[in-house]
Amino acid sequence: MGRRFEGLTALVTGATGGFGRGICERLAHDGARLVLSDLEGPPVEALAASLGTETAMLCGDIAVEALSEKLVDLAVKQFGRLDIAINNAGVAQSFVRLPQVPSDEARRIIDIDLMGVFYAMKYQLPQMERQHRQTGKGGAIVNISSVAGLVGAQRLSVYAAAKHGVVGLTRSAAGEYAKKGVRVNAVCPAFARTAMVDDFVKMTGKREADAIAEISRGVPMKRVAEVEEVVEAILFAADPKNSFMTGHALSVDGGITAI
């Protein structure tokens, strides 16, 4: 049996983060060529060197529109096409009530978590549509939202608003491009063992076990996700064999949205 992403070109933003690194490692293992992006160059270079596949990279701030255009251009120049785009770059907010969120922080969250996804799709979608017209093969976009994009999130109001926006962009683009060979889905994880959770634990000043218990109190499984569990869902959404799923917001949340 062949590797499921053999010969495909995948673009991953936020490539060196918890989800990003796991996504890249699995894509490379399954045969994909990778276009990598994150804020800082050295971590991306180190990741690229570890993957054992063809890579290209371009670092910068996903909140700057020009980066998204250049990333698509890079994929086409280096590898001839763009088959998969995983829009993973994002930031969290301070864990406070809405009136306590500084306005400049709120704007930054919207610029990265929502506008960054908009800019990414603005350039990814036309390229994948062109490929579909020319070769009959389009592509798949996976946007990383959050369970906070499906329900309210106390003390994460602006983050939740941005992630709700990502789900809205996902469903709208999926409808627009369903006949044009491009699938667009979102994956909506709850807290997972990433740097975001580590930062939360530090912020609480509590023992790690107590802090994790607090953030998983409303999770029926009574734990946070492992990175690998979320990555598995992302790859499911990106898999070319999953060819009839589009416009879906796939929750990976330990049962939060089931109750």
By annotation, the residues acting in catalysis are 159
User: Token pair of 237, please?
Assistant: 């959404």
Contact 181, 132 (CB under 8 A): yes
Ordered strands of the 84-87 beta sheet: 55-57, 33-37, 9-13, 84-87, 139-144, 182-189, 249-252
Question: Could you report how far apart the first and last alpha carbons of the chain are, in Å?
Answer: 39
Is 155 in contact with 217 (CB distance < 8 Å)?
Answer: no
Type of residue at 140: A
- What is the H or E stretch that residue 141 is in? strand 139-144
Q: How far apart are CA 64 and CA 129, in angstroms?
A: 23
Q: What is the DSSP letter of 226?
A: P
Q: Which residue type sits at 164?
A: H
